[in-house]
Amino acid sequence: MDYRWDFSAVLVNRALLLEGLQNTLILGTTCLALGLFFGLFVGAARYSANRWLHDPASVFVEVFRNTPVLVQIMWFFFAFPIIAPFQINAFTAATLGLTLNTVAFSSEIYRAGLQSIARGQWEAGKALGMTYWQQMRRVILPQAIRRMLPAFMNRAVELFKMTSLASVIAYGELMHKAKVISTIAFNPIEMYTAVALIFFAILFPATVLVRRFETSRNVRS
Amino acid sequence: MGYEWDFAIVLRDFDLLWLGLVNTLKVTGLSLLFGVPLGLFLALLRLYGRWPIRLPAAFVIEFLRTTPPIAQLFWFFFALPILIGVEIDPFRASILTFSLQSSAFFAEVFRGGIQSIEVGQWEAAKAIGMNRNQTLRRIILPQAVKRMIPAFLERAIELMKTTTLVSTISYADLLYQANSIAQSTFRTIEVFTIAAAMYFVVIFACSVAIRRLEKHLARSGETIVH
C-alpha cells in the first residue's frame, strides 16, 4: 500500500465543507425541533383511550417506523410533488421525510415516558382540580421529560447521522459537498475520511454525554 | 387534483421489484451472518482485553456507531479500492460495510447482555473450577444470548432499513429497482408507494413477531436487555 495521502484538497475546499456542515446542522436542528414538537401530540394521541385519536396515530407511527427513512425521503422528493399542489425542493423533501420519521420515533419515547409516571400523579392533579392539560403540563410532563432525555438525545444522534441521506437527493449538506469535491479533486479517500471524522468529532462527545447522563440517573434512582 | 393513478403499469414489473426485495434480504442476511460473530468478538475484546486491545476495539465500535452509514459505504466503495488497488463491486462493498457497521451495534448488544449477568454466576463457576473462557462459553453466554434476542432482532430490522443505501452505489436492491422502474414508466408515485408498502409488509411483520417474542420471554421470566 503505497498510496500517498494528501489532505490538501480537503483543506483547500474547507469553505465548501463548512457550508455543507452548516446545512447539515440546519437540516438536523429543524427536523429535531419539529419532530419533538409534533411527536408530543402523536405520543399523547397514542396514549389516549379515545380510539379516534389512538388508531390514526398508531397507523402513522407504524408506517414511519417500519419503512426505511431513505424510502421516505425519496418518496417525498420524487413521488409527492406529483400530487402536491406546490413545488418541493430537496430541503423540503428531506425535512418532511426526516421530521415525520422523528415524530414517529419520538412519539414512542413520549408514550413510554408518560406510561412510566404512576397513575397516582394524575389522580393527585385531578384532586387539586386541574384540567387534563394542566395535569399534563405541570405534573406529568416535567417528571416524564427528565426520564425521556437520554432516549431523546440518542434519537438526536441518529437524526444527525440520517441527515447525510439528504445527499442522495442532492441537498447540499456535508456528505453531498464531499461527493462533489471528490469528483472534481479525485480524492475520495481523503474526502470521505474527512466527512467520517467530522461526524465522529461531533457525535462521539454527544454519545459520551448521553451515557454519562444515563449512568448518573441510574445511580440516583 | 387531476392525477390519474395507474398501478397496472407498475405491477407488470412486479417481478423486478420482487428481485429487488430478494437482493435486499440477501444483503441483510449475509451482513448478519458476518456481523453477529464479529460483534461478539469486538465485545469480548472491549470487555476483557488489556488496554492496548480494549481501547482500539472501543474506538472501532464507537467510530462505526457515530459515523453515517452512507459515508462508510462510500468509503468502502470509492476510497478503499484506490487504497488497496483492488476493484470492489457494489455487492462486496455493501456486505463489507454493513457487516462492519452492524457488528459495532451487535457488539454493544453483546456487551450489555454479558454485563447484565449477575456476578454470582461468575463466582459459582469459579467455585467449581471453571476458567474464564469456560465460564463465558458454558454459563454466561447461554444466559446472556437468551436475554439479548429481542435487541438483536431489532438491530436486524434496523440493518434491513439501512441496506436501502446500497441503491446509491447501484446495487439492485428493492429501492434501486423501484427507482429504475420509475424512470422507465414515469409512474413515480405508484412505484415508490408499492416499494414502500413492500418494505412495510416485511419489516412490520418482523416487528410484530419481535413484540410477541418479547411478551413470551417476559412471561417466562426472562429480563430483556435493550
Percent of the residues in chain A that have a pLDDT greater than 70, as a whole number: 97
A45 Cβ contact list (under 8 Å, min separation 6)? A53, A54, A56, A57, A107
CB-nearest to B199 from A62, A71, A161 is A71
Q: Do B199 and A200 touch (CB under 8 A)?
A: no
Task: State the smallest CA–CA distance between residue B105 and chain A in angstroms.
Answer: 13
Closest residue in chain B to residue A178, using alpha carbons only: B71
Least confident among A2-6, A202-206, B161-165: A2-6
Inter-chain CB proximity B74 and A179 less than 8 Å? yes
Distance from CA of B223 to the nearest CA of A (A): 17
In tens, the pLDDT along B41-87 reads 999 999 999 999 999 999 999 999 999 999 999 999 999 999 999 99
Tell me the whole-structure pTM to 2 decimals: 0.91
Closest CA to A32 of A90, A136, A105, A111: A105
Q: Which of A62, A76, A78 to mutate to test the interface with B (most CBs of B within 10 A)?
A: A78
Among chain A, residues having any CB pair with chain B shorter than 8 Å are 1, 3, 62-63, 65-72, 74-75, 78-80, 82-83, 85, 157, 161-165, 167-168, 175, 178-179, 182, 188-189, 191-193, 195-196, 199-200, 203-204, 206-207
Pick from A77, A89, A76, A96: nearest CA to A31: A96
Return the percent helix, strand and coil in chain A, to nearest 5.
85, 0, 15
Give pLDDT tens digits for A82-92.
888 888 999 99
Average of per-residue pLDDT across A65-83: 94
Domain residue spans in chain A? 8-220
Mean confidence (pLDDT) of chain B: 92
- Residue B1 clears pLDDT 70, i.e. is over it: no
| Range in A19-23, A135-139, B100-104, B193-197 the model is least confident about | A135-139
Q: Give the nearest chain A residue to B173 (CA atoms).
A: A71
pLDDT at A219 over 80: no
Check CB contact under 8 Å for A82 and B3.
Answer: yes
Q: Residue B189 is nearest to which of A68, A79, A164, comparing CB atoms? A: A79
The per-residue pLDDT for A47 is 85
Inform me whether the pLDDT recorded for A119 exceeds 70: yes
Compare all CA atoms of chain A with the CA of B80 and give the residue at the minimum distance: A189
Pairwise CB contact (< 8 Å): A3 & B83: yes
Sorted by where each begins, the domain ranges of chain B are 7-219
pLDDT for position A1? 57
State the pLDDT at residue B226.
47
What angle (nearest 5°) sits at the alpha carbon of residue B204, between those of residues B202 and B206?
A: 70
Which pLDDT tens digit goes with each residue over B126-153? 999 999 999 999 999 999 998 899 899 9
Residues from chain A contacting residue B71 (CB–CB below 8 Å): 164, 175, 178, 192, 195-196, 199
Q: How many CB pairs under 8 A join A and B?
A: 124
Q: Which of A66, A74, A199 sits opposite B203 (nearest CB)?
A: A66
pLDDT at residue B5, rounded to an integer: 84
How would residue B215 be classed by pLDDT, with cut points 50, 70 and 90? Answer: confident
Question: What is d(CA A192, CA B214) in angstroms, rounded to the nearest whole number?
Answer: 39
- The C-alpha torsion from A93 through A63 and A146 to A198, rounded to 10°, is -40
CB contact under 8 A, A168 and B70: yes
Superfamily of domain A8-220: MetI-like (1.10.3720.10)
DSSP state, B117? S
A193:B68 CB<8 A? no
Q: Quick one: pLDDT band at residue A96, thresholds 50, 70, 90?
A: very high
> Is it the case that residue B224 has pLDDT exceeding 90?
no
Query: Using 50, 70 and 90 to split pLDDT, how confident is the model at B223?
Result: low
Whether domain B7-219 has CATH 1.10.3720.10: the reply is: yes
Long-range contacts of A145-154 (CB under 8 A, 24+ apart): A145/A113, A147/A113, A147/A116, A148/A109, A148/A110, A148/A112, A148/A113, A149/A213, A150/A210, A150/A213, A150/A214, A150/A217, A151/A109, A151/A112, A151/A113, A152/A36, A152/A106, A152/A109, A153/A206, A153/A209, A153/A210, A153/A213, A154/A207, A154/A210
- Please name the member of A66, A163, A193 whose beta carbon is closest to the beta carbon of B75: A193
Convert the pLDDT of each residue in B77-127 to its tens digit. 999 999 999 999 999 999 999 999 999 999 999 999 999 999 999 999 999
Within 8 A of B3 by CB-CB distance, chain A residues are: 82-83
pLDDT exceeds 90 at position B10: no
Name the average pLDDT for chain A: 92
Residue range A39-55: mean pLDDT, rounded: 92
**What's the rounded Cα separation, in Å, for the pair A5 and A104?**
43
CB contact under 8 A, A161 and B69: yes
The stretch A45-63 carries a mean pLDDT of 93
Q: What is the pLDDT of residue A205?
A: 95
The stretches of chain B forming alpha helices (DSSP H) are 7-11, 14-48, 51-66, 69-74, 80-84, 90-115, 119-127, 132-134, 141-162, 174-185, 188-219
